[in-house]
Amino acid sequence: MMNRAIIVNGDFIVSEKHESIYEGDIVVDCNAIMKTFMTSRMQDIEGGILYANGCPSLNEAAMIISARLTKVVFSREPVMSDELCAIELLKENGIEAICNPEIILE
C-alpha cells in the first residue's frame, strides 16, 4: 500500500499520507495516491507529476490516466503482476513511468 504521495504541477503541490479511518470495529485504509486525488481538483493537477513511495497498482494507474498526469516517479520496482500491468498501462497511455529508489518522501 502506498503510504506517501505528492502531485506537483507548477506551483501547485498536493501531498498526502496513508491513513486508517476507524469507525467502531470497521477499519478503512485509504492509501496516499487515492487521497491526493480526493483532495485536489483535476484542473490543478492535469499535466502534473506524481511522486510515490511504492509502485502504483492498476486502480491507481487508472486514476493517474484519468487525471492526465504526464509522469509518475515511484520508489520501488514493480514485482506483483498488478504493478507490472499498471506500469505497462501507464506507458501505453503516454505517461512516463520511472522507478527511482533514491526518492524519499517525508
For domain 4-99, which CATH number applies: 3.30.930.10, 3.40.50.10860, 3.40.140.10, 3.30.70.60? Answer: 3.40.140.10
Q: Would you state the pLDDT for residue 75?
A: 92
Mean local confidence (pLDDT), 28-50? 84
Three-state SS at 26? strand
Angle subtended at Cα 80 by Cα 77 and Cα 81, rounded to the nearest 5 degrees: 115
Phi (first) and psi of residue 21, to 5 degrees: -105, 125
- Other C-beta atoms closer than 10 Å to the C-beta of 38 total 11
Write down the pTM of the prediction: 0.84
Mean local confidence (pLDDT), 29-44? 81
Domain spans, the chain: 4-99
